[in-house]
Structures are given as structure tokens and as C-alpha cells.
């Protein structure tokens, strides 16, 4: 990795992921390469489809670097999507303009058996090439992040074939056909672990696991479908690559955060915007790093709501290992100037 002196990293995000408080807080933004940036829209138009962009190492590297050039974020997240995993496993995945992802839904044992048993890593070679290019293109202080979706979130797209408000098709499937669900989740655990290990080998220094639909699960299913699969992925990754750092984002997982923390699942826990960091942190051991959690719409609004939202987070996390971020992805209608205002306020926070 070239930047570590002994075991003491100099990159701010890696220091936080090792449990060290860093002030001013390091900052990056979920979905930081995206449609709020005019330069993204330009490259996107050249690329063809969204998946063409994900699988084009030159253009994927370019869009990953765009927010780093413009804002100097402390982390750079690989440009790709959580749905490249079902795609590589053999499911038909498309992104329809202005509608989002469309997959050929799976529901039977026969559908499952048509999916590859082990992740064919060669189908994702272009993603690893993007990481390889980023490793040399990024400024020395920028942490390179990889990512994957958590099995439940990915499975919910694979079953419904699209995004759904409360993941009803996958939840119903979990009740009616637990055996199907178990096989699918297990396949995704193995695929995601192999994928993350390969991302680390290609140059990622830390990875974020996105459980975007954690809030949909009732307590009876949460352990089996969300917590346990994430636990297995993190354990498998750490066993294979002990230097890898992990950030776990369970959107809507507030009531379960203390369990993740107690078990040490994730070097950092990402908080969604509904959580009050003051309350959450009071319940978490001091060495557990956190990330988040400004409301993406406070960033759209700008002005007073933005500065008040930032200050509330800064005062709650002062003295703790924390990475500033949004509580979910940045939305396309976000004014670019507001992103700069946010960075200036976070970085300008007085000692
Ligand atoms: O953060 C980054 O900048 C890295 C790239 C990244 C994308 N998607 C690019 C993207 C990451 C980390 C993701 C993760 C992802 N993808 C998640 C989990 C995070 C979250 O936001 O909850 C999910 C659920 C997906 C699935 C997905 N991809 C959906 C539902 C959509 C359509 C919704 C939309 O915003 O249009 C996508 C498309 C997508 N992935 C875009 C980007 C920049 C927009 C597509 C475009 O440019 O046309």
C-alpha cells in the first residue's frame, strides 16, 4: 500500500478505521461520483449504458476521480454498482434510463441452479482493473474504498427484479420458502467475500458493505438475513486479508448497532440520517469508529439547515473516531456549491 509506516497509517480515513480520533474530521460522500456533477453526466453520456460505464476501466476511473479533483475528499470509492454481483453470477441485469435497475426475477430452485455457484471473478476483471488504475492515479492522502451490497439488499433486487418500497417480494419469499432464501443468501455471502478479497488485492484499502434495506426486516428475520451474512463476510475477509478495513452501513439498523459494535463487525459503523449521533454514541464503546450521517436533503437545502445539521454532528462526535459523510447517498438535485460549503465547514471546524 506504500503509505503505512509500520502499522501506523498516515491516511486520515485509515487512522479513523484503526480507532483513532482525527480532527478536523475526514470526509467523503456516499455516491460522490454521480449525477449532481456536470462532469459525471458528460462522461456518462459518452459511455453508453450505466453498466457500460461500470465495466469500462478508463471511464470508471475517470468518474471515480472527478469528485476527488473537484473537492479533494479523503476517500475515493470505486465506481461500480452492487448489482454487478448478480450480473456476474449469470442473472440478466439492466439499468433502464430514469427507472433504475431491472433484473430477470428469480423464484425457483431451477433459477438458483442457473446462477454460478462460485463468483466467476474473470467476469469482473474490468472492475479490478479500475481499482488498479485508481491506486496509482489517486493523491497519496486519499483512501481507496471498495464495496459490495449486503446479501439481503442484493437478494431483494434479485427476487423482485427491481427496487421496491419495502422489499415485500423478498420478505414474503423468506417466510414462504426459507430453503430458497438460505441457498441464495449463502451464495451471496461466498460471492461477496471472494469479491471483496479480490478488491483488496487490486488496491482497495477498506471496503463498505451497503445494507440499504436493513429497515425492511422484522426482528425475526434480521439476524438470519442481515446480521449473520454480514458477520460471515467480514469474518471471511479479515481471515483472508487481515489488513483490510471494513465499514458497515445498515440503513435502518439503529436498534441493532450495539450488536454490531459488541461483536466487532465492522471497523466503522455508518449511521443513517435518522439517527441522533449523540444518543447512538452514548451506547457504543469509545474505540468503535462511526461514519455519517447528515441528511442528504439538508445538503440539497443548504444554508442554515446545512450548517445546523453539520454542527450537530460535529459536536456529538468530537473526540471520537468518526468519518464525516451523509446518512445515505447524495441525490442528483444537490447543488454542487453546497457540497463545497459542507466540506469547508467540516474542515474549518476549530480546535
Ligand atoms: O458511491 C459512489 O459514488 C460509488 C458508486 C455507487 C453506485 N451505486 C453508482 C450508481 C455505489 C456505491 C452504489 C451502490 C448501490 N447501488 C446501492 C447501495 C447504496 C444505496 O444508495 O443505498 C444500491 C441500492 C444500488 C442499486 C442502484 N444503482 C439503484 C437503485 C440505482 C438507480 C437509482 C438511481 O439513483 O438512479 C442505481 C444506479 C446508480 N448507481 C447510479 C450511480 C451513480 C445512477 C445511474 C446513472 O448514472 O444513470
Q: How confident is the model at residue 283 (pLDDT cuts 50, 70, 90)?
A: confident
CA of 81 to the centre of ligand 1 (A): 6
Q: What is the CATH number of the domain that holds 112?
A: 3.20.20.210
Counting atoms of ligand 1 from 1, which one is nearest the CA of 29?
1
DSSP letters spanning 282-299: HTS-TT-EEEEEE-HHHH
Using left for φ > 0, alpha for ψ between -120 and 50, and beta otherwise, residue 120 falls in beta
Q: Kindly report the backbone phi and psi dihedral angles of residue 55, in degrees, each rounded to the nearest multiple of 5, phi listed first.
A: -95, 10
Q: Which three cell numbers stand for residue 329?
A: 447517498
In this structure, which residue's CA is closest to atom 45 in ligand 1? Answer: 50
pLDDT digits (tens, 9 = 90+) for 109-136: 999 999 999 999 999 999 999 999 999 9
| Tens digits of residue pLDDT in 270-279 | 999 999 999 9
Give 236 Cα–ligand 1 centroid separation in angstroms: 25
DSSP 206-250: EEEEEETTGGG--HHHHIIIIIHHHHHHHHHHHHH-TT-EEEEEE
**Distance of CA 98 to CAs 129, 135, 311, Å?**
28, 32, 35
Catalytic residues: 31, 35, 44, 81, 157
pLDDT digits (tens, 9 = 90+) for 157-189: 999 999 999 999 999 999 999 999 999 999 999
The residue nearest atom 33 of ligand 1, judged by CA position, is 100
Model confidence pLDDT, tens digit, residues 65-123: 999 999 999 999 999 999 999 999 999 999 998 899 999 999 999 999 999 999 999 99
Per-residue pLDDT at 222:
94
pLDDT of the residue at 3: 47
Mutate to test the pocket of ligand 1, among 42, 82, 332, 333 (most ligand atoms within 8 A of CB): 82
Average pLDDT, the chain: 96
Q: Kindly state whether residue 52 falls inside one of the protein's structural domains.
A: yes
> In this structure, is residue 289 part of a structural domain?
no
β partners of residue 275 = none
Instruction: Please tell me the distance from the alpha carbon of residue 244 to that of residue 234, in angstroms, as a whole number.
Output: 9
Write the DSSP string, 74-93: SEEE-S--TTHHHHHHT--E
State the average pLDDT over residues 11-19.
98
- Is pLDDT of 351 > 80? no
Please state the pTM of the whole predicted model.
Answer: 0.96
Is the shortest distance between the CB of 79 and ligand 1 below 6 Å?
yes
In a domain, 332, yes or no: no
In a domain, 220, yes or no: yes
Domain that holds residue 151: 4-251
* 180 inside domain: yes
How many domains, the chain? Answer: 1
Question: If we measure between CA atoms, which residue out of 220, 216, 222, 218 comes closest to residue 185?
Answer: 222
pLDDT of residue 7: 61
Is 82 close to ligand 1, i.e. is its CB under 6 Å away? yes
Question: Does 31 map to a domain?
Answer: yes
Is the pLDDT reported for residue 8 higher than 90?
A: no
Q: Give a yes or no: residue 312 inside a domain.
A: no
Q: Percentage of the chain surpassing pLDDT 70?
A: 98
| Residue 339 maps to a domain | no
Could you tell me which residues come within 8 angstroms of residue 99 by beta carbon, excluding any fewer than 6 positions away? none
**Mean of the pLDDT values across residues 229-246?**
98
**Residue 270 CB neighbour total at 10 angstroms:** 27
Ligand 1 atom closest to Cα of 95?
38
Atom of ligand 1 nearest to the CA of 332: 35
What pLDDT score was predicted for residue 6?
52
Q: Max CA-CA distance within the chain?
A: 60
Amino acid at each position: 500500500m506504500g503509505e503505512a509506516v509500520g502499522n501506523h497509517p498516515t491516511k486520515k480515513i485509515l487512522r479513523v478505521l484503526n480507532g483513532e480520533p482525527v480532527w478536523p474530521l475526514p470526509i467523503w460522500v456516499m455516491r460522490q461520483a454521480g449525477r449532481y456533477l456536470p462532469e459525471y453526466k458528460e462522461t456518462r453520456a459518452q459511455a453508453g449504458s450505466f453498466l457500460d460505464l461500470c465495466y469500462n476501466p478508463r471511464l470508471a476511473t475517470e468518474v471515480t476521480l472527478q469528485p476527488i479533483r473537484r473537492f479533494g475528499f479523503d476517500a475515493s470509492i470505486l465506481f461500480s454498482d452492487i448489482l454487478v454481483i448478480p450480473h456476474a453470477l449469470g442473472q440478466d441485469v439492466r439499468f433502464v434510463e430514469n427507472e433504475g435497475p431491472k433484473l430477470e426475477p428469480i423464484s425457483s430452485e431451477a433459477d438458483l441452479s442457473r446462477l454460478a455457484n462460485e463468483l466467476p471473478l474473470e467476469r469482473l476483471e474490468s472492475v479490478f482493473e479500475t481499482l488498479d488504475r485508481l491506486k496509482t492515479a489517486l493523491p497519496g492522502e486519499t483512501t481507496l474504498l471498495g464495496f459490495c451490497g449486503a446479501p439481503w439488499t442484493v437478494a431483494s433486487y434479485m427476487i423482485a427484479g427491481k427496487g421496491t418500497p419495502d422489499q415485500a417480494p423478498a420478505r414474503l419469499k423468506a417466510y414462504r420458502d426459507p430453503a430458497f432464501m438460505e441457498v441464495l443468501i449463502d451464495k451471496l455471502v461466498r460471492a461477496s467475500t471472494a469479491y471483496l478479497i479480490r478488491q483488496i488485492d487490486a488496491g482497495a484499502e477498506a471496503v463498505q458493505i451497503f445494507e440499504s434495506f436493513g429497515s425492511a426486516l422484522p426482528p425475526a428475520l434480521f439476524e438470519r438475513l442481515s446480521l449473520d451474512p454480514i458477520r460471515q463476510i467480514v469474518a471471511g475477509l479479515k481471515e483472508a486479508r487481515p489488513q483490510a478495513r471494513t465499514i458497515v452501513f445498515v440503513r435502518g439498523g439503529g436498534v441493532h448497532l450495539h450488536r454490531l459494535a459488541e461483536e466487532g463487525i465492522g471497523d466503522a459503523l455508518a449511521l443513517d440520517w435518522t439517527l441522533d449521533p449523540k444518543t447512538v454514541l452514548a451506547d457504543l464503546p469509545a474505540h468503535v469508529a462511526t461514519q455519517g450521517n447528515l441528511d442528504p436533503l439538508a445538503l440539497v437545502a443548504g444554508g442554515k439547515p446545512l450548517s445546523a445539521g453539520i454542527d450537530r454532528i460535529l459536536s456529538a462526535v468530537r473526540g471520537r473516531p468518526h468519518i464525516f459523510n451523509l446518512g445515505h447517498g447524495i441525490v442528483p438535485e444537490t447543488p454542487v456549491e453546497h457540497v463545497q460549503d459542507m466540506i469547508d465547514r467540516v474542515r474549518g471546524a476549530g480546535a
